[in-house]
Chains A and B, each alone.
Chain A
Amino acid sequence: MKIDCGNYPLQGGYDELIEAPGKPRASAEGLCNFFAGLAGEELESRHHAVDVSIMAAGITFTVYSEAGNIDRAWPFDVVPRIIDRTEWEHIEAGLKQRLKALNLFIDDIYHDQNIIKDGVFPADVLVDSRNFRAACVGANPPFGVWAHICGTDLVRDGDGKFYVLEDNLRVPSGVSYMLENRQLMKRLFPELFSRYDVLPVDDYTAQLHDMLAALSPREGDRPEIAVLTPGVFNSAYFEHSYLAQQMGAYLVEGSDLVVLDDDCVYMKTIEGLTRLDVIYRRVDDDFIDPEVFRADSSLGVPGLMRAWKKGNVGIANAPGSGVADDKVVYVFVPQMIKYYLNEEAILPNVPSYLCMHEADREYVLANLDKLVVKPANESGGYGMLIGPMSTPEEREKFAALIREHPRNYMAQPTLALSTVPTLCEDAIEPRHVDLRPFILQSKDMYVTHGGLTRVALRRGSLVVNSSQGGGSKDTWIVQGVI
């Protein structure tokens, strides 16, 4: 099994490694030669070694299904995706610009709402927002930053351009897989790294730590930081424990914490109660404080919001930042960039139709078989309609849903997602991918070198979510070929 550029079945869209039959892209030539030089058994044995390493490392995620929850090994593909550094620097600038604007937007929404007063953002979108938290109005998190960790999904369309698909501002996951993928590649294909200058990804956890430390309410160079997890049954538990381990932080559950009369947060330790400075929460904000949000939540800490609003504890992402993680709000991001930064958006949005606007709605209803319809507030690829692959019954169901709750739906043209050569059952075939870089912001900003490339392992599929049969690849930002 080889990457045989001549016989690689290009699909007409943009392929990240192969430019034309028989012709790899400049940055991918060394990689293609390397894989072409590997004997079939050699590749298979390394692929097998990957599976063994993944099982041994217990890199898993949980899939919720009717048959119960299953712990699955992380599906990893051995062919990396390569992006040239020059192109990456442009993307990086676009991502920083975007998060900066989003944070200004969130802060504005919880204060004076000037963007609404100035007619740039419609008031009714906010009224119907499911992730707006009234309890956060007037809060002043450090640096005016609310969304400290953002996972932005990018896709490359047939024209070769990157588009922003969505901004994940609640509890974006996947960064641990990005880090693990690199570890696996280094272990299994050490020779490849001598052919390329691949920008390292390992400094993410140190950057994450420093970003969190900057949120500490107390002076001193070693603030107490904890990752708050819903617990071992959460699908991203592997990542929670991984990040805590890498940062040397505590991994806590709600029951490990308590807020006392002084409105400070304490951890229950073997020495008694210890003050906690910063919480990287991986629990939805709806669940973090039963005194303020869902009273039936056992995942949170009573009094946490009190402590946060008084500035006695840093929380990332800040409660309420999900207000900007909404597929309808997304449509307005280019306007936000213009409004707050007086700049043009560096990275374009995917053209979108808002079902709340009558003209758009009529267009969407008339073209359901061509569009992708997304609910405003879901994540993980749930509740979507992919028009070209839908049945008439599904389209009818969505038409009814859209008419009933127009604000809850938006639609986009079906994109010809770019492909990357991927090791399939018996050959190397093109498979569709997206890219999720992670952006950090508190005192400073930081963007991962690359990000998590997710790949739809089923032939022809456009759905890359791990919960729906997706896998992942190592992503290389390369400096140039040696």
Chain B
Amino acid sequence: MLARVGESLYWMSRYLERAEDTARLINASTMLLMDMPRGASFGWEGLLNVVGLDKAFHELYDQASETAVMSFLIQDERNPSSIFACVRHARENTRTFREVLPRESWEWVNELYLYTSTHLASALDRRKRFEVLSEVIRRRQTLVGLLVGTMSRDEAFQLMRLGRNVERADMTSRVLDVSYAINLPYENSQYYDLIWMSVLHSLSAHQMYRRHVGVHARGHKVLAFLLDDLKFPRSVRHCLHEIESALGGLPPGDEPRQRVQAMLNQADQADFRKLAKNGLHDFCDNIQTSLAELNVIINRTYFRVEQPQKKMTQSQSSQA
């Protein structure tokens, strides 16, 4: 696998995961907002904090109104993490490595792009939003299904799996971090359960949580589920195991493996009852920093190829 192509695959996968996660997050937030008392502190600004784009937003817009935030997160090309920008970026990347993916994947990424370029504008309107964003999610999931169902577990596959899980772990930790801060003032109120349910919703985790944990969304249990559950595919621990396993399918490289192992060791020591009371922000922050470092290490290990130093010629060595 060419290093350049490997890097593109990794990022293509990250961008598509980001587009899908953002769509899920917006859908859940829109639903939650309809349940909240008017003037509740969970507003559109909060959503910007979750994705870490509050600064970038305010460079372009004044007010964090619903229309402005939706436009920024969904279709604004100036925001490289907007759903549209992510899909377009993924499509441009996919063009350059059609030879390593199943033939249909380019068609489906291209169709996803054509869909977003014609339909995303209507997602600014609350009445259409759910439908359009769900379609984005569905199309992206179809693509993942195609790859899982038809691709050999080769290096290309592992790099995409790596990108998907690095991005997903990052998103889960962000959603938790920010929602938790927003939720604190509502402790003991009627909205408490509701907001935690919404956190689960935004990560598409509510159904599995109900089945495997319980019907009530309690802070520390939600934390444990989203950070530490072995079986839920969006929990940070599950993502780390996926990353570990994907690295196993790539050419040898000690550094990335050691870093993931260190992150798993840290997770082993977490006490979620304590974290639910305080320290969650630092904990999540730590996850995000470690993922960023892992990203640098992956880049160095697989995508930057060292050329051997020029061998000294006969005459040079004799002079030396």
Residues of A within 8 A of B (CB): 55-58, 227, 232, 237, 241-242, 244-245, 248-253, 255-256, 258, 260-261, 267-273
Contacts and interface: CB of A to CB of B under 8 A. Distances in A.
A241 B305 contact: no
15 contacts: A55-B110, A56-B110, A56-B111, A244-B99, A245-B98, A250-B99, A251-B96, A268-B4, A269-B305, A270-B2, A270-B3, A270-B250, A270-B302, A271-B1, A273-B308
Contacts of B250: 270
Given A58-B110, A250-B99, 11 more contacts: A55-B114, A56-B110, A56-B111, A245-B100, A251-B98, A253-B4, A269-B2, A269-B3, A270-B2, A270-B250, A271-B251
Binding site secondary structure of chain A: mixed
Given A55-B114, A273-B307, A250 B2 contact: yes
Nearest to A261: B311
A437 B305 CA distance: 41
A267 B107 contact: no
Interface residues of B, number: 31
A470 B15 CA distance: 37
A438 B64 CA distance: 60
A55 B106 CA distance: 11
A374 B4 CA distance: 41
A241 B95 contact: yes
Interface string B1-34: 1111110000000000000000000000000000
Contacts of B159: 270
B310 interface: yes
Contacts of B303: 270
Question: Which 3 residue pairs of A and B lie closest in terms of their CB atoms, listed nearest first?
Answer: A244-B99, A268-B305, A245-B99
A268 B99 contact: no
Contacts, number: 78
Contact of A245 (B4, B103, B114): B103
B155 interface: yes
A273 B98 contact: no
A241 B98 contact: yes
Contacts of A57: 106-107, 110
Contacts of B100: 245
B95 A252 contact: no
B180 interface: no
A422 B303 CA distance: 49
Contact of B99 (A58, A241, A273): A241
Contacts of A269: 1-3, 6, 305
Contacts of A232: 92, 95-96
B205 to A, nearest CB: 33
Contact of A270 (B107, B155, B308): B155
B283 interface: no
Given A241-B96, A245-B103, A256-B4, A270 B251 contact: yes
A258 B307 contact: yes
B106 A58 contact: yes
Contacts of B251: 270-272
Interface in B243-274: 250-251
B191 interface: no
B302 A251 contact: no
A128 to B, nearest CB: 39
Nearest to A251: B99
A238 to B, nearest CB: 8
Contacts of B3: 256, 268-270
Nearest to A229: B96
Nearest to B305: A268
A270 B1 contact: yes
Contacts of B103: 245
A463 to B, nearest CB: 29
Contacts of A58: 95, 106-107, 110
Interface string B219-253: 00000000000000000000000000000001100
A58 B99 CA distance: 14
Contacts of A244: 98-99
B168 to A, nearest CB: 22
A273 B2 CA distance: 9
Given A242-B98, A250-B99, A251-B99, A260 B308 contact: yes
Contacts of A273: 305, 307-308
B97 interface: yes
**Looking at B5, B110, B251, which has the most chain A CB atoms within 10 Å of its CB?**
B5
B114 A272 contact: no
A227 B5 CA distance: 14
A187 B302 CA distance: 40
Contacts of A258: 307
B246 to A, nearest CB: 13
B4 A255 contact: yes
A56 B114 contact: yes
Nearest to B110: A58
A253 B4 CA distance: 9
